[in-house]
Structure 1
């Protein structure tokens, strides 16, 4: 097998790790914590493990839409986007190693939440709950999970990486 192709495959070990960590933690929460309750608190109520479902997307956007509309918007469309991203990933020669790992982490998080959207009729299982002390008008940050964390962290790293590449390419043009 081509070594360049193998180098492109290696970051997908992060996809598998994110997917496994996400699904295993969701399984643990679903077994150990009753739905809509707090299972564990740390440092008072600063950090809690809770068992809630999000039928929408980030910050529960679209949670009130009908099940059929949610299935298309939050299930089918993200699946199509993930397939396109993977296709672009393998065709691209411009991505750095860091960017490839970031894309793989985002794909892992996206797939983790898609599994919930397809197999949990209640919605995506969220369980990480952090006090936010009224910042931005939020007493608590919206509850999230491992998949959400991977998407956000890898997305921020990818964006920073792209911005540095743009800055470097402008510096080279001078």
Structure 2
């Protein structure tokens, strides 16, 4: 009787070991499939799902004199930017931007080199875009993947005042 219970116990151990072996084999096979065979697909999904830091300039107020005349004002300006990671075939896109909005190819290339920091940080290509230029860029957005435009505040000194050093001039 003791021997029969021992055989049953041994049989249960073999079954449990078999189940554990099959489970680990299935897990290992799935791991191999995801990490090795499907690497390209999941890598592409991870690139799209990347967290990206975006800096937003702080709004700046008006500066008035004692008579409430405006010394320093703000006005919106539109800037064309590109994210190098998404901006493939840059020479082809520079040529298209040149044809669309008339910014010279060499200026675009110079700005790209000047403002490039790394693949994930916006690079400023052009500044002070008007509504017509923005419309043309928006119409051709599919051809210009990786390019974006944003509205930034720009300082204005309406009185012709030369007090930039104490009124908030920032060199770009």
Same fold, judged at TM 0.5 (above) = no
Higher helix share: 1
Whose radius of gyration is greater, 1 or 2?
Answer: 2
TM-score (norm 2): 0.22
